[in-house]
């Protein structure tokens, strides 16, 4: 009986996605017709007024990944995440990487929801129609709140008290009124919570992970790749050498 109920739930969700896709495609067609003349004008301006800029040649070099960059790579690769999560289970902190991944899923899904809302707004249709069927981003937001944020929840994470209060207000507003503004607020605060958990794991858990047998085994099967950066040279009149500038990527916390 439970399998049948689960199957029926999946069918309902699939039908909802199909109806939502039809609605969004309709909105996109309407908005495309309304914007046609403006787009044509922009293309004409781009063809007639765009300067012909030449790009300077770039050379590639490699720099060693920092600890936080390596940790980011571990979290975003399936085998790396699996190894780190295995270590966290023995460290009694398995909920932290799970929370980080669940928030990443929410952020990805909510981008699609916001795009769908924008299409409906451009077509002068009611944006709330996006939520007339089960929305994956909304479902993920509820799961994250009740499984990881609520005090005493099964996988409660340790984030700042003020952030817990903001997320609590966000989810209540979002459940009462599904709109773009409330979804954006939820994205902002869950991203901030994800950043806090990432910083904690990078500064504490990941360092212990690097001293573990799990990490040694992971590194033997997954050699640490170096990060490519661009070195751009530009010659100056009368100069004997070019000016070399190295562009390195930075992680945001």
pLDDT in tens, 62-106: 556 677 888 999 999 999 999 999 999 988 899 999 999 999 999
Q: In this predicted structure, what is the pLDDT of residue 135?
A: 86
Residue in the block written with tokens 């795009």: 115
Reduced to 3 states (helix: H, G, I; strand: E, B; else coil), residue 243 is strand
Contact, 171 vs 141, CB < 8 A?
Answer: yes
pLDDT in tens, 140-190: 999 999 999 998 888 999 999 999 999 999 999 999 998 899 999 999 999
pLDDT surpasses 70 at 58: no
Q: pLDDT-based confidence at 197, cuts 50/70/90? A: very high
Q: What are the domain boundaries of the chain? A: 2-48+78-220
Q: In this predicted structure, what is the pLDDT of residue 203?
A: 92
Contact, 107 vs 191, CB < 8 A?
Answer: yes
Q: In this predicted structure, what is the pLDDT of residue 172?
A: 95
Integer CA distances (angstroms), 221 to 65, 79, 86, 112, in order:
18, 10, 16, 35
What mean pLDDT value characterizes the chain?
Answer: 77
> What's the rounded mean pLDDT across residues 52-56?
51
Q: Which residue has the higher pLDDT, 18 or 80?
A: 80
Integer CA distances (angstroms), 169 to 42, 149, 163, 250, in order:
42, 12, 10, 32
Residue in the block written with tokens 């700042």: 160
pLDDT surpasses 50 at 217: yes
pTM of the model: 0.67
pLDDT surpasses 50 at 57: yes
Quote the tokens at residue 26: 């309709």
Fold of 2-48+78-220: Regulator of G-protein Signalling 4; domain 2 (1.10.167)
Q: In this predicted structure, what is the pLDDT of residue 44?
A: 66
pLDDT surpasses 90 at 130: no
Least confident of 26-30, 150-154, 187-191, 246-250: 246-250
Quote the tokens at residue 56: 């300077």
């Amino acid at each position: 009986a439970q399998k049948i109920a689960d199957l029926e739930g999946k069918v309902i969700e699939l039908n909802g996605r199909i109806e939502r896709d039809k609605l969004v495609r309709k909105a996109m067609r309407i908005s495309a017709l309304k914007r046609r003349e403006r787009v044509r004008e922009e293309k004409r301006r781009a063809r007639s007024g765009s300067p012909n800029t030449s790009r300077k040649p770039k050379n590639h070099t490699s720099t060693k990944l920092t600890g936080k960059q390596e940790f980011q790579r571990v979290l975003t690769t399936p085998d790396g995440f699996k190894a780190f999560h295995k270590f966290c289970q023995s460290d009694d902190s398995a909920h932290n990487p799970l929370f980080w991944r669940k928030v990443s899923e929410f952020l990805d899904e909510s981008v699609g929801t916001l795009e769908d809302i924008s299409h409906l707004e451009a077509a002068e249709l009611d944006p709330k129609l996006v939520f007339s069927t089960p929305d994956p981003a909304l479902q993920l937001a509820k799961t994250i709140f009740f499984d990881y944020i609520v005090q005493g929840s099964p996988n409660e994470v340790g984030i700042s008290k003020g952030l817990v209060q903001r997320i609590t207000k966000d989810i209540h507003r979002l459940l009462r009124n599904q709109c773009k503004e409330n979804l954006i607020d939820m994205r902002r605060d869950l991203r901030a919570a994800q950043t806090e958990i990432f910083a904690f794991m990078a500064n504490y858990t990941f360092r212990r992970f690097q001293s573990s047998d799990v990490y040694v085994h992971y590194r033997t099967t997954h050699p640490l790749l170096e990060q490519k950066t661009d070195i751009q040279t530009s010659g100056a009149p009368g100069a004997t050498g070019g000016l070399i500038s190295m562009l390195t990527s930075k992680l945001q916390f």
